[in-house]
Amino acid sequence: MDAHRLHLSASPRVGAGPLRDGTALPPPSAWEGRPLWAEIDLDAIEANVAALARRAGQAEFVAMVKANAYGHGAVAVSRAALNAGASRLGVACLDEARQLREAGIDAPILVLAHTPVEQAPAAVALGVTLTVNSTGLAGALSEAAAAAGRRADVHIKVDSGLNRYGRPADEAVELAEAVRQMPGLRVEGLFTHFATADETDKQFMHQQLREFSSAAERLPWINVRHCSNTASLLDEPDISFDMVRCGIGIYGLYPSGEVSRSSVNLSPALALKSRLARIKTLSAGETVSYGRRWTARGGEVLGLVMCGYGDGYPRRLSNISSVRLGDALVPIRGTIAMDMMMVDITSGAAGATEGAEVTIIGGRPGNGVSAEDLGEQAGTISYEIVTSIAARVPRLYTRAGRVVEFQTLNDPFPNPWPPSPAAPIHAGR
């Protein structure tokens, strides 16, 4: 193991703390950072995937793991999703696909967004399926496939009203027929993406569906048609076609407050946690943090939490949101800094001591710190809350309440926990 790599020991260290069942967490000293970590429940990921897959019936299931699996960690989540019944993985770019391939994941991977033409040889080498939006990219893929002696599968996107990537129905049909004639390529799939599937009013979604269906009917030789995401699967599973693409739902989060929550029971998989690093009592007139945006009346007890906007927590929640300390919600006081924030534990958590665990993000809506709650407070969505969690925050992966894997900023892939004294851990192995 290189000298600069972090060292993990199987023996307990000062600072180790328990999960709910008393299992020892890797201590902060294990990752040479601050007492801040994200716990990702792999059992919850698998249960969510299985429940959504049942909802999809006979349709194939794509687990969307773009943006580092919505902040949860792409490699560990991909393995869990495949174990639970997903047949494919979905990403936004070739770099994300490469990470999965280098982790040893050989499942089909679909790149759903734009890929530059010059990346065609790499896509063929990785054996991933690209979304093709032009004959230029298709031609480059055809040449790369011929040079490698391989076949490359592609999907074509119908722009049915989102007006981003893809081609209008007539152009998509023409493109599909043209690509079909290119050697080394197979047009495997046709898809679209909904703009308002997470809203109660489905009129525009149905308009998009009609546009997509008109293209699909003219291309009966394409075997894999897909348009359904988490929101449409929850509300209208009958439009699943041959495959569904689920993102936010596999992480236990509902797309919005307007979709059905009774059709599938989802469990949030992520919790962002820390420990009180310092406790201090303020005198009247003292102010807290940058800009002096909060002033003490006197006697308030504040706790230091080592989490800030550099970790992905929204700065705009300064003096607005709270963290959970035990059963109490304790409010954030002053401006959230890059690396830390202060919380008021005067009344909500009297008697708290340094080292006490706090939950910053996690749990079900209505608890004050769920991703949905924070999204509403910050004027955004739960997607942004979880995908914003920075790479420098260690991820601890659990099963049955026990930590089984561990990934830090310096680890390309998760490491097993606890490590075996006889077999020192090397990053990515």
Q: Are 159 and 165 in contact (CB under 8 A)?
A: yes
Q: Are residues 159 and 281 in the same domain?
A: no
Q: Which pLDDT belongs to residue 16? A: 37
Is residue 1 in some structural domain?
no
Identify the residue whose tokens are 């990537």. Answer: 165
Identify the residue whose tokens are 């063929």. Answer: 124
Choose the catalytic residue: 66, 254, 313, 383: 66
Q: Are residues 282 and 188 in the same domain?
A: no
Across 42-84, where does the E strand assignment appear? 60-64
Choose the catalytic residue: 280, 290, 383, 397: 290
Element (H, E) at 319: none
The whole-angstrom separation of Cα 192 and Cα 178 is: 19
Is residue 280 among the annotated active site residues?
no
pLDDT at 146 over 80: yes
Q: Which pLDDT belongs to residue 347? A: 87
pLDDT in tens, 226-270: 999 999 999 999 999 999 999 999 999 999 999 999 999 999 999
Quote the number of domains for the chain: 2
Q: Are residues 204 and 282 in the same domain?
A: no
Q: Are residues 212 and 78 in the same domain?
A: yes
Q: Are residues 286 and 216 in the same domain?
A: no
Query: What is the domain range of residue 181?
Result: 57-251
Neighbours of 136 (CB within 10 A): 11
Q: Are residues 317 and 228 in the same domain?
A: no
Is residue 261 in some structural domain?
no
Is residue 317 in some structural domain?
yes
pLDDT at 18 over 70: no
Is residue 50 in some structural domain?
no
**Rg of the chain, C-alpha, whole Å:** 24
CATH no. for residue 72?
A: 3.20.20.10
Of residues 22, 23, 17, the one with CA closest to residue 36: 17
Q: Fill in the amino acid letter for 159.
A: D
Q: Are 89 and 62 in contact (CB under 8 A)?
A: yes
Lowest-confidence region among 5-19, 98-112, 311-325? 5-19
Residue-by-residue DSSP string for 134-199: SHHHHHHHHHHHHHHT--EEEEEEB-SSS-SSSB-HHHHHHHHHHHHTSTTEEEEEEE---SSTTS
Is residue 234 in some structural domain?
yes
Q: Are residues 246 and 298 in the same domain?
A: no
Task: Determine if residue 92 is left, alpha or beta; phi over 0 gives left, psi from -120 to 50 gives alpha, anything else beta.
Answer: alpha
Is residue 425 in some structural domain?
no
pLDDT at 175 over 50: yes
The total number of residues shown for the chain amounts to 429
Q: Are residues 189 and 321 in the same domain?
A: no
Lowest-confidence region among 7-11, 259-263, 317-321, 382-386? 7-11
Is residue 424 in some structural domain?
no
Q: Are residues 237 and 295 in the same domain?
A: no
8-state DSSP, 209: H
Q: Are residues 71 and 208 in the same domain?
A: yes
The whole-angstrom separation of Cα 41 and Cα 294 is: 36
Q: Which of 194, 223, 251 is the last residue of a domain?
A: 251
pLDDT at 12 over 70: no
418 prior amide bond cis, ω within 30: yes
Is residue 213 in some structural domain?
yes
Bridge partners for 270 per DSSP? 40
For residue 340, what are the contacts with CB-CB under 8 A and spacing of at least 6? 277, 304, 305, 306, 307, 308
Q: Which pLDDT belongs to residue 418? A: 83
Burial of 104 per CB tally in 10 Å (0-12, 13-18, 19+): exposed
Q: Are residues 93 and 241 in the same domain?
A: yes
Identify the residue whose tokens are 């599968």. Answer: 153
CATH no. for residue 352?
A: 2.40.37.10
Q: Are residues 231 and 309 in the same domain?
A: no
Q: How far is CA 8 from CA 25, 346, 408, 427, 428, in A?
A: 12, 37, 11, 11, 14
Is residue 251 among the annotated active site residues?
no
Q: Which pLDDT belongs to residue 32? A: 75
